[in-house]
Amino acid sequence: MSTSISLTLKIWRQSNPADKGRFKNYTVKDISTDMSFLEMLDVVNEQLTLAGEEPVAFDHDCREGICGSCGTMVNGRAHGQLKGTTLCQLHMRHFKDGDTIVIEPFRARAFPVIKDLVVDRSAFDRIIQAGGFISVNTGSAPEANTLLVPPHNAEKAMDAAACIGCGGCVAACPNASAMLFVSAKVSQFALLPQGRPEAARRALGMVRSMDTCGFGNCSNHRECEKSCPKEIAIVNIARLNREYVKASFASPES
Protein backbone atom coordinates (compact mmCIF):
# COMPACT_ATOMS: atom_id res chain seq x y z
CA MET A 1 0.00 0.00 0.00
CA SER A 2 1.41 3.36 -1.03
CA THR A 3 1.86 6.06 1.59
CA SER A 4 3.11 9.63 1.39
CA ILE A 5 6.02 11.11 3.29
CA SER A 6 7.52 14.55 3.76
CA LEU A 7 11.27 15.10 3.54
CA THR A 8 13.93 17.71 4.02
CA LEU A 9 16.47 17.60 1.21
CA LYS A 10 19.94 19.11 1.45
CA ILE A 11 20.99 19.24 -2.21
CA TRP A 12 24.33 20.39 -3.58
CA ARG A 13 23.85 23.31 -5.98
CA GLN A 14 26.70 24.38 -8.25
CA SER A 15 25.94 26.43 -11.35
CA ASN A 16 29.15 25.62 -13.24
CA PRO A 17 32.61 24.04 -12.73
CA ALA A 18 34.09 27.34 -11.57
CA ASP A 19 31.35 27.97 -8.98
CA LYS A 20 32.25 27.19 -5.38
CA GLY A 21 28.93 25.45 -4.78
CA ARG A 22 26.87 25.06 -1.60
CA PHE A 23 24.10 22.98 -0.06
CA LYS A 24 20.55 24.28 -0.30
CA ASN A 25 17.62 23.03 1.76
CA TYR A 26 14.29 22.04 0.25
CA THR A 27 11.16 20.75 1.93
CA VAL A 28 9.04 18.36 -0.13
CA LYS A 29 5.68 16.92 0.84
CA ASP A 30 3.38 14.15 -0.36
CA ILE A 31 6.17 12.00 -1.80
CA SER A 32 4.77 8.57 -2.61
CA THR A 33 6.78 5.69 -1.19
CA ASP A 34 6.27 3.94 -4.53
CA MET A 35 8.45 6.52 -6.28
CA SER A 36 12.04 5.85 -7.19
CA PHE A 37 14.66 8.29 -5.98
CA LEU A 38 14.91 9.86 -9.42
CA GLU A 39 11.13 10.22 -9.64
CA MET A 40 11.29 12.07 -6.34
CA LEU A 41 13.88 14.43 -7.85
CA ASP A 42 11.56 14.89 -10.84
CA VAL A 43 8.84 16.06 -8.45
CA VAL A 44 11.29 18.44 -6.77
CA ASN A 45 12.28 19.88 -10.15
CA GLU A 46 8.65 20.31 -11.17
CA GLN A 47 8.00 22.29 -8.00
CA LEU A 48 11.12 24.40 -8.55
CA THR A 49 10.15 25.11 -12.16
CA LEU A 50 6.65 26.20 -11.14
CA ALA A 51 8.21 28.47 -8.52
CA GLY A 52 10.45 30.05 -11.15
CA GLU A 53 13.65 28.51 -9.76
CA GLU A 54 16.41 26.61 -11.52
CA PRO A 55 15.77 22.82 -11.44
CA VAL A 56 18.40 20.47 -10.04
CA ALA A 57 20.64 18.97 -12.73
CA PHE A 58 21.28 15.25 -12.36
CA ASP A 59 22.37 12.41 -14.65
CA HIS A 60 19.96 9.69 -15.75
CA ASP A 61 19.01 7.65 -18.79
CA CYS A 62 17.56 4.12 -18.68
CA ARG A 63 16.27 4.27 -15.09
CA GLU A 64 16.48 0.47 -15.02
CA GLY A 65 19.92 -0.04 -13.47
CA ILE A 66 21.51 -0.80 -16.84
CA CYS A 67 23.23 2.27 -18.27
CA GLY A 68 25.28 3.53 -15.31
CA SER A 69 24.36 7.15 -15.98
CA CYS A 70 22.78 7.93 -12.61
CA GLY A 71 24.59 8.20 -9.34
CA THR A 72 24.95 10.62 -6.44
CA MET A 73 26.01 10.42 -2.83
CA VAL A 74 22.92 9.89 -0.67
CA ASN A 75 23.64 10.49 3.00
CA GLY A 76 27.31 9.86 2.31
CA ARG A 77 26.86 6.63 0.36
CA ALA A 78 27.20 6.14 -3.38
CA HIS A 79 23.77 5.22 -4.80
CA GLY A 80 22.27 5.18 -1.30
CA GLN A 81 22.16 2.68 1.51
CA LEU A 82 20.93 -0.42 -0.32
CA LYS A 83 23.40 -3.05 -1.50
CA GLY A 84 23.49 -3.94 -5.18
CA THR A 85 21.22 -1.06 -6.18
CA THR A 86 21.67 1.87 -8.55
CA LEU A 87 20.24 5.25 -7.63
CA CYS A 88 17.39 4.83 -10.10
CA GLN A 89 16.43 1.54 -8.42
CA LEU A 90 16.38 3.06 -4.93
CA HIS A 91 12.77 3.61 -3.84
CA MET A 92 11.40 6.09 -1.36
CA ARG A 93 9.89 3.33 0.78
CA HIS A 94 13.37 2.96 2.26
CA PHE A 95 13.08 6.41 3.84
CA LYS A 96 10.89 7.56 6.72
CA ASP A 97 8.55 10.49 7.07
CA GLY A 98 10.47 13.52 8.31
CA ASP A 99 13.89 12.24 7.20
CA THR A 100 16.62 14.63 6.14
CA ILE A 101 18.44 13.41 3.02
CA VAL A 102 21.80 14.84 1.97
CA ILE A 103 22.31 14.62 -1.79
CA GLU A 104 25.63 15.56 -3.38
CA PRO A 105 27.67 14.64 -6.47
CA PHE A 106 30.39 12.01 -6.64
CA ARG A 107 33.55 13.57 -5.20
CA ALA A 108 36.80 12.85 -7.08
CA ARG A 109 39.43 14.95 -8.80
CA ALA A 110 38.97 12.84 -11.93
CA PHE A 111 35.19 13.48 -11.83
CA PRO A 112 34.91 17.29 -11.89
CA VAL A 113 31.46 18.70 -11.20
CA ILE A 114 29.75 20.12 -14.28
CA LYS A 115 26.56 21.36 -12.62
CA ASP A 116 24.75 20.46 -9.39
CA LEU A 117 24.80 16.64 -9.22
CA VAL A 118 26.28 16.10 -12.70
CA VAL A 119 29.95 15.13 -12.91
CA ASP A 120 32.22 14.58 -15.89
CA ARG A 121 32.94 10.84 -16.07
CA SER A 122 34.71 10.96 -19.42
CA ALA A 123 37.88 9.74 -17.68
CA PHE A 124 36.31 6.28 -17.80
CA ASP A 125 35.94 6.65 -21.57
CA ARG A 126 39.63 7.46 -21.91
CA ILE A 127 40.55 4.37 -19.89
CA ILE A 128 38.38 2.19 -22.11
CA GLN A 129 39.97 3.73 -25.22
CA ALA A 130 43.38 2.77 -23.83
CA GLY A 131 42.66 -0.95 -23.91
CA GLY A 132 39.06 -1.99 -23.34
CA PHE A 133 38.74 -3.81 -26.64
CA ILE A 134 39.93 -6.86 -28.56
CA SER A 135 41.00 -7.19 -32.20
CA VAL A 136 39.14 -9.76 -34.28
CA ASN A 137 39.12 -10.68 -37.93
CA THR A 138 36.13 -9.57 -39.95
CA GLY A 139 33.97 -12.06 -41.77
CA SER A 140 31.59 -14.77 -40.74
CA ALA A 141 31.34 -15.83 -37.12
CA PRO A 142 33.78 -18.61 -36.16
CA GLU A 143 32.60 -22.04 -35.15
CA ALA A 144 31.45 -21.94 -31.54
CA ASN A 145 33.72 -24.80 -30.49
CA THR A 146 36.84 -23.33 -32.11
CA LEU A 147 37.82 -21.57 -28.88
CA LEU A 148 36.92 -23.60 -25.83
CA VAL A 149 36.22 -21.62 -22.66
CA PRO A 150 36.02 -23.36 -19.27
CA PRO A 151 32.60 -22.72 -17.69
CA HIS A 152 34.07 -21.24 -14.50
CA ASN A 153 36.13 -18.77 -16.53
CA ALA A 154 33.11 -17.80 -18.60
CA GLU A 155 31.11 -17.13 -15.44
CA LYS A 156 33.87 -15.02 -13.90
CA ALA A 157 34.22 -13.05 -17.13
CA MET A 158 30.47 -12.43 -17.24
CA ASP A 159 30.50 -11.30 -13.61
CA ALA A 160 33.25 -8.78 -14.41
CA ALA A 161 31.48 -7.63 -17.59
CA ALA A 162 28.44 -6.70 -15.47
CA CYS A 163 30.23 -3.44 -14.55
CA ILE A 164 28.18 -0.51 -15.89
CA GLY A 165 30.83 2.17 -15.33
CA CYS A 166 28.71 4.30 -13.00
CA GLY A 167 31.68 5.51 -10.93
CA GLY A 168 30.18 4.57 -7.58
CA CYS A 169 33.38 2.70 -6.70
CA VAL A 170 35.42 5.87 -7.23
CA ALA A 171 33.05 7.95 -5.12
CA ALA A 172 33.10 5.42 -2.28
CA CYS A 173 36.88 4.97 -2.18
CA PRO A 174 38.74 7.27 0.25
CA ASN A 175 41.49 7.55 -2.39
CA ALA A 176 39.06 8.01 -5.31
CA SER A 177 40.56 4.91 -6.92
CA ALA A 178 39.20 3.49 -10.19
CA MET A 179 40.82 0.10 -9.61
CA LEU A 180 37.54 -1.82 -9.33
CA PHE A 181 36.30 -0.39 -12.64
CA VAL A 182 39.60 -1.00 -14.44
CA SER A 183 39.99 -4.47 -12.97
CA ALA A 184 36.50 -5.43 -14.14
CA LYS A 185 37.26 -4.27 -17.68
CA VAL A 186 40.61 -6.09 -17.69
CA SER A 187 39.20 -9.26 -16.11
CA GLN A 188 36.35 -9.68 -18.58
CA PHE A 189 38.98 -10.16 -21.32
CA ALA A 190 41.85 -11.68 -19.33
CA LEU A 191 39.71 -14.71 -18.45
CA LEU A 192 38.86 -15.48 -22.06
CA PRO A 193 41.14 -16.72 -24.87
CA GLN A 194 39.95 -13.90 -27.14
CA GLY A 195 41.51 -11.39 -24.76
CA ARG A 196 44.91 -12.99 -24.28
CA PRO A 197 46.74 -11.71 -27.41
CA GLU A 198 46.45 -8.11 -26.23
CA ALA A 199 46.47 -8.80 -22.49
CA ALA A 200 49.80 -7.09 -21.77
CA ARG A 201 49.02 -4.05 -23.91
CA ARG A 202 45.60 -3.77 -22.28
CA ALA A 203 46.81 -3.93 -18.68
CA LEU A 204 49.61 -1.43 -19.25
CA GLY A 205 47.50 0.96 -21.28
CA MET A 206 44.48 1.04 -18.98
CA VAL A 207 46.50 1.37 -15.78
CA ARG A 208 48.62 4.16 -17.25
CA SER A 209 45.50 5.95 -18.47
CA MET A 210 43.93 5.56 -15.03
CA ASP A 211 46.97 7.17 -13.41
CA THR A 212 47.04 9.97 -15.98
CA CYS A 213 43.39 10.77 -15.30
CA GLY A 214 44.20 11.46 -11.66
CA PHE A 215 42.58 8.52 -9.88
CA GLY A 216 44.11 7.38 -6.59
CA ASN A 217 45.55 3.99 -5.68
CA CYS A 218 43.68 1.09 -4.10
CA SER A 219 44.11 0.86 -0.33
CA ASN A 220 41.99 -2.29 0.20
CA HIS A 221 39.27 -0.57 2.21
CA ARG A 222 36.68 -2.47 0.10
CA GLU A 223 34.20 0.40 0.05
CA CYS A 224 34.20 0.01 -3.74
CA GLU A 225 32.99 -3.57 -3.53
CA LYS A 226 30.32 -2.67 -1.00
CA SER A 227 28.95 0.27 -2.99
CA CYS A 228 29.05 -1.34 -6.44
CA PRO A 229 25.46 -1.69 -7.73
CA LYS A 230 26.51 -4.77 -9.73
CA GLU A 231 28.49 -6.23 -6.81
CA ILE A 232 31.76 -6.53 -8.70
CA ALA A 233 34.15 -8.46 -6.44
CA ILE A 234 37.43 -7.00 -5.22
CA VAL A 235 39.16 -10.21 -6.34
CA ASN A 236 39.24 -8.60 -9.77
CA ILE A 237 41.70 -6.02 -8.44
CA ALA A 238 44.08 -8.83 -7.49
CA ARG A 239 43.76 -10.17 -11.04
CA LEU A 240 44.49 -6.71 -12.46
CA ASN A 241 47.63 -6.45 -10.33
CA ARG A 242 48.83 -9.84 -11.59
CA GLU A 243 48.14 -8.89 -15.20
CA TYR A 244 49.96 -5.58 -14.77
CA VAL A 245 53.02 -7.13 -13.11
CA LYS A 246 53.28 -9.80 -15.81
CA ALA A 247 52.92 -7.18 -18.54
CA SER A 248 55.56 -4.95 -16.94
CA PHE A 249 58.16 -7.72 -17.09
CA ALA A 250 57.18 -9.41 -20.34
CA SER A 251 55.94 -6.68 -22.65
CA PRO A 252 58.30 -4.61 -24.82
CA GLU A 253 55.85 -1.70 -24.27
CA SER A 254 56.80 -1.55 -20.59
The fold of the 121-250 domain, in CATH, is Fumarate Reductase Iron-sulfur Protein; Chain B, domain 2 (1.10.1060)
CA distances, 165 to each of 47, 52, 162 (Å): 31, 35, 9
| pLDDT > 70 fraction of the chain, expressed in percent and rounded | 98
Average pLDDT (82-111) is 97
- Domain 4-108 indexed as CATH 1.10.10.10: no
Residue type, 43: V
Average pLDDT (207-215) is 97
Average pLDDT, the chain: 94
Range with lowest mean pLDDT among 51-55, 138-142, 147-151:
138-142
DSSP-assigned states of every residue in 209-233 = HHHHHT-B---S--HHHHH-TT---
What pLDDT sits at residue 246? Answer: 94
- Return left, alpha or beta for 134; rule: phi > 0 is left, psi -120 to 50 is alpha, else beta: beta
181 contacts 228 by C-beta, under 8 angstroms: no
Among residues 102, 81, 100, which one has the least CA distance to residue 91?
A: 81
Q: How many CB atoms lie within 10 A of CB 76?
A: 10
Among residues 117, 113, 105, 143, which one has the least CA distance to residue 56?
A: 117
Q: How far apart are the first and last CA of the chain?
A: 60
pTM for the full predicted model: 0.93
DSSP-assigned states of every residue in 52-99 = T-PPPP---S-SSSSS-----EETTEET-SSTT--GGG-BGGGS-TT-
pLDDT exceeds cutoff 90 at 119? yes
47: CB partners within 8 A, 6+ apart: 28
pLDDT exceeds cutoff 70 at 21? yes
Q: 3-state DSSP helix/strand/coil percent for the chain, to nearest 5?
A: 35, 15, 45
What pLDDT sits at residue 249? Answer: 87
Sorted by where each begins, the domain ranges of the chain are 4-108, 121-250
What pLDDT sits at residue 251? Answer: 61
Among residues 154, 151, 168, which one has the least CA distance to residue 232?
A: 168
Query: Phi and psi at residue 110, in whole multiples of 5°?
Result: -80, -10
pLDDT exceeds cutoff 80 at 13? yes
